[in-house]
Amino acid sequence: MDRTAQLTTRPTERAFVYDPPRAGGSLHVRAARTLADNWTGTSTVPSRSLYPHQWSWDSAFIAIGLRHLSPLRAQTELETLLAAQWEDGRIPHIVFNPSVPLDAYFPSPDFWRSSTAGRAAGAPRTVQTSGIVQPPVHALAAWLVHCADPGLSRARGFLTRVYPRLAAWHRYLLHRRDLGGGGLASVVHPWEQGMDNSPCWDAPLSRITPAPARSFRRADLDHGAAEDRPTDLDYGRYVRLATDYRDRGYADGGGEFAVEDPSFNALLIASEHALARIAGELGAAGTARHARAERLTTALVDRLWDPASGMFLCRDLRDGRGALIPERSVSGLVPLLLPGLPRDITATLLRTLRGPRFGLGDTTRLVPSYDLLGEAFDPHRYWRGPAWFNTNWLLERGLRMHGEQPAADALREAILRTADDSGFAEYVDPYTGEACGATGFGWTAALALDLLHSPPLSNSLERGDPHPEDGVSLTGIGTFDETDEMSDKKIRGGNRG
């Protein structure tokens, strides 16, 4: 049952004590209306105008918010995305809606040619997708959606059906994408990491010959200001990388771009912990998954932590040296959401977050996407400085994880106020909160709903888990082992479902 209509009639005594007053036309109702407007019947588009298809990590964040309105709809959101999974385990970053005209978005299905170019990797034949991926938030989203209504989830067999697909997704990342040999997953295109034109990509992209401008037409400029979007030169390089990957049949390992990114791997680690919870719910041991998350965390620290910068950095695997990229982006702060970081690293991350480069609680309204003091900082240009709501939501969760309740409370209120004032903008000026990009943006509305429904005293990403685990220790390092292979087979009964 969809509970959207109940938001305006819920009795006062059942309201969360930390929520703002629920006057008529409240933030609850506006957020719910935004998600309803973006709903297609089986999934939610990020934006009706700018992004008219289903995006992978958008749907994960959207499901986290939708669970408060309709757990069934949140389950459907994830199930629709997972139905487009490739046989090699990858979850594509776009699932295309066939009713949308080809010229409404570029790169369109006829560019990716998933059903033909992706045949060797097991691309589905009944739906068109892209061939690259996005950050693995999905297992975390699935667990939180289950916790919103465990009875409905069990009755529908939700976790039983999604677990094999999520396990295959993680196996793909841990096996096919360990391009540096150190245990971490690599991205092979800037779009995969989600922060498309981050200055972190400037050096790796400088080696890429751009596709000719006449070979593609940017549909994004029809809906967004050119000064807020990636440049034509950067876009030409994105197209070249995607073309080369497609023409290799989407085989991993041979491209000119390969980067180990801290936020991508932090989300993989958080989702490994979530997969352990899901396995436990389904009657299988999650011990090996927790252990793998611990090993991945140690690998993250060993390979990407930079004490001199006071944060995690990206590692360029194609520069001939495998060196860290000396650019400070919000990606290097996202590992704060992990429960078992060494205390000295956590303390340093908090100082960096509050310092002059990111300004939390001081100079900025929300945490910017890039170093305020960096030469490439631009408060309006996509991921080169503006603040995004999904990264701020992750940091709010991370602050709570490490006992920073006053800072988390303040960030929560700032996120809610800015989401409302900006009309649920795609991203905002980090100083003023001025709306940039699209408005009525899906994950902005969804994550605002999640914060409204999550009392500030929460101290865990897994809030709602009836059996929370405390004191998870993240130590040790290793590679994929077979223990969870056996657990996965036990759960799926010999097929992927």
- Active-site position among 426, 429, 450, 465: 426
Tell me the C-alpha distance between 464 and 456, whole Å.
13
Residue 488 annotated to the active site: no
Tell me the C-alpha distance between 82 and 166, whole Å.
8
Written as six digits, the tokens of 225 are 């200001």
Phi first, then psi: what are they for 316, rounded to 5°? -90, 110
| Burial classification of residue 375, based on how many CB atoms lie within 10 Å of its CB (0-12 exposed, 13-18 middle, 19 or more buried) | exposed
Residue 281 annotated to the active site: no
For the chain, state the CA radius of gyration: 21
**71-82 vs 56-66: helix axis angle to the nearest 10?**
160
- Active-site position among 79, 178, 196, 234: 196
- The three-point CA angle 386-388-389 to 5° equals 150
Tell me the C-alpha distance between 236 and 208, whole Å.
9
Is residue 487 within 8 Å of 307, Cβ to Cβ? no
Tell me the C-alpha distance between 15 and 21, whole Å.
9
Is residue 415 within 8 Å of 447, Cβ to Cβ? yes
**Number of residues that make up the chain:** 497
171-174 contact pairs (CB < 8 A, 24+): 171/89, 171/480, 172/88, 172/89, 172/90, 173/89, 173/133, 173/136, 173/268, 174/292, 174/480
Question: Would you tell me how many other CB atoms lie within 10 Å of the CB of residue 481?
Answer: 12
Catalytic residue numbers?
A: 196, 426
